[in-house]
Amino acid sequence: MLWFEERGSDGSGVGFTNRSGGVSQEPWSSLNLGAHVGDAPDHVTENRARLAAHLGLEPPRVLYMHQVHSATVVHATGPWPDGQPPPEADAMVTDTPDLALVVLVADCVPVVLTSPEGVVGVAHAGRRGMDARVVPAAVDAMRDLGASHVRAVLGPSICPRCYEVPKDLREDVATRHPLTASVTYTGTPALDVAAGVLAQLECIADSRQLPGCTAERDDLYSYRRDGVTGRFAGVARTRRGPA
Ligand SMILES: [Zn+2]
């Protein structure tokens, strides 16, 4: 379920899921957490319940966004209101105990953010979100909540060797984010989105990228490789509240 996880003694923690431990069938098998990718809704609900149980939370306290490749950051203070769709956003921050923030990806860069003050965040940085600076926006929002020292973990995403783009697009993005210009395994134009995120975080957070390319790992979802497929998650859980 969680192939990478760090937990604090106060119940807080961050992690990234993989494909295992769920009930979805091919081509979403098995722990698909995305509700917008054609999978059976009851399977997604069960998978999300399993993640919530793993985190020690009721399912409504695990918050998902409606991701739209923006730089919009939402400050979450509790479960989303009953009967309302999740907010359109690509980052969330919170300091409310016993909440988990989830970012869903299948090639985009999932970022989880923590701080000594217990303020946490997640961000969804694909090519467009990176270009719009969604991750620095999330760090700013954490600082507004009192975070002093932000630590970022970038989960697996599609690597530049696998992420071919038109030459014009590479040149356009590189005018703003020079470190993103790259090449594929065969030398054709490519983008290194994670490098762009790391460069944006250079002076505002301690960053670490976990190794691994989604398009090259069968235990992770990759939209570029598979088209119709599931989504895995980056998760940031706040500390336990008073019992
Ligand atoms: Zn790759």
Q: What is the pLDDT of residues 29-77, one digit of tens each?
A: 999 999 999 999 999 999 999 999 999 999 999 999 999 999 999 999 9
Counting residues of the chain whose pLDDT is more than 70, the rounded percentage is: 100
Distance between CA 23 and CA 25 in Å, rounded? 7
Distance between CA 121 and CA 235 in Å, rounded? 9
The answer, yes or no, to whether residue 28 has pLDDT greater than 90, is: yes
* Domain at 99, CATH number: 3.60.140.10
- The answer as to whether 242 is a domain residue is no
Mean pLDDT for the chain? 97
Distance 50 CA to ligand 1 centre (A): 29
Distance 159 CA to ligand 1 centre (A): 4
- Spatial contact of 104 and 233, defined as CB atoms under 8 Å apart: yes
Phi/psi for 96 (5° steps) reads -75, 130
| pTM for the model | 0.97
- The answer as to whether 138 is a domain residue is yes
Structural domain range at position 31: 2-148+218-237
- The answer as to whether 229 is a domain residue is yes
- Spatial contact of 108 and 91, defined as CB atoms under 8 Å apart: no
- The answer as to whether 198 is a domain residue is no
Distance 219 CA to ligand 1 centre (A): 13
Distance between CA 130 and CA 194 in Å, rounded? 8
- The answer as to whether 185 is a domain residue is no
pLDDT tens for 195-241 read: 999 999 999 999 999 999 999 999 999 999 999 999 999 999 999 99
Distance 182 CA to ligand 1 centre (A): 12
> How many independent structural domains does the chain possess?
1
Distance 156 CA to ligand 1 centre (A): 10
Distance 62 CA to ligand 1 centre (A): 30
- Spatial contact of 24 and 42, defined as CB atoms under 8 Å apart: no
Distance 165 CA to ligand 1 centre (A): 14
- Spatial contact of 94 and 113, defined as CB atoms under 8 Å apart: no
Please give the pLDDT value at position 2: 86
Q: How far is CA 84 from CA 39, 62, 79, 102, in A?
A: 21, 15, 11, 17
Distance between CA 12 and CA 126 in Å, rounded? 26
Burial group, residue 84, by CB count within 10 angstroms (0-12, 13-18, 19+): exposed
Distance 144 CA to ligand 1 centre (A): 36
Q: What is the dihedral of CA 148, 195, 124, 218, to 10 degrees?
A: -130
